[in-house]
């Protein structure tokens, strides 16, 4: 009985691969994942040059010990502009990453550091609704930051794949 189910499943997988080859699905998935990192970096990076974003970041930066130094060093507007510039630069590097392994290495590394930093903010700020029992009820800050876990993962994959491509290019030279 289980052998029949396995056989049917195997035929279904084989048929699916003929309709949509695994390599094609992977390529489309990588493109969507790349867009999923580039679009937030680019659009939110541009938003950093508005007063709305300067005001929105105040509680996040002020209440995170490892980020609070940004305001004394650059001021509120300057710190926000610095973050926006880094995000836009990273987005440009990631856009170039399919064609340039070196751009992918730098973009993946900066993206990884960026998202590691934003994910780490969850350790410093309350991210759960205490009034309804805490975990797993994410408050708006938690909802805002949690997505960065996936963006961190995609950035690390881009970094690793680009490093692999660059090493292969160097060994062929």
> Which pLDDT tens digit goes with each residue over 109-143?
999 999 999 999 999 888 889 898 888 898 888 88
Task: Of 1-15, 41-55, 106-120, 144-158, give the lowest mean pLDDT range.
Answer: 1-15
Q: How much is the mean pLDDT over the chain?
A: 93
- What is the distance between the alpha carbons of residues 136 and 2, in angstroms, rounded to a whole number? 38
Per-residue exposure over 94-133, b if at least 16 CB sit within 10 Å of its own CB, e if not: bbebbebbebbbbbbbbbbebbeebbebbeeeebbeeeee
Give the C-alpha distances (Å, rounded to integers) separating 120 from 50, 54, 66, 152. Answer: 24, 20, 9, 11
pLDDT at residue 3 greater than cutoff 70: no
Looking at residue 12, its pLDDT comes to: 81
CB 34 within 8 A of CB 154: yes
Helix, strand, or coil (residue 38): helix
Looking at residue 2, its pLDDT comes to: 63
Tokens describing residue 168: 């292969």
Domain residue limits, the chain: 2-172
């Amino acid at each position: 009985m289980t052998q029949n189910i396995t056989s049917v499943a195997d035929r279904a997988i084989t048929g699916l691969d003929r309709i949509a080859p695994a390599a094609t699905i992977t390529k489309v998935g990588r493109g969507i994942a790349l867009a999923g990192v580039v679009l937030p970096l680019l659009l939110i990076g541009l938003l950093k040059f508005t007063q709305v974003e300067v005001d929105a970041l105040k509680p996040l930066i002020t209440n995170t010990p490892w980020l609070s130094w940004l305001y004394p060093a650059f001021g509120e507007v300057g710190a926000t502009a610095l973050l926006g510039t880094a995000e836009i630069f990273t987005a440009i590097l990631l856009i170039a990453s399919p064609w340039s392994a070196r751009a992918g290495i730098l973009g993946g590394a900066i993206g990884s550091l960026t998202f590691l930093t934003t994910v780490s903010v969850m350790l410093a700020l309350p991210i759960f609704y205490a009034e309804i029992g805490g975990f797993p009820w994410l408050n708006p800050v938690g909802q805002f930051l949690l997505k960065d876990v996936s963006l961190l993962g995609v950035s690390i994959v881009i970094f690793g794949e680009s490093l692999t491509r660059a090493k292969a290019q160097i060994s062929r030279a």
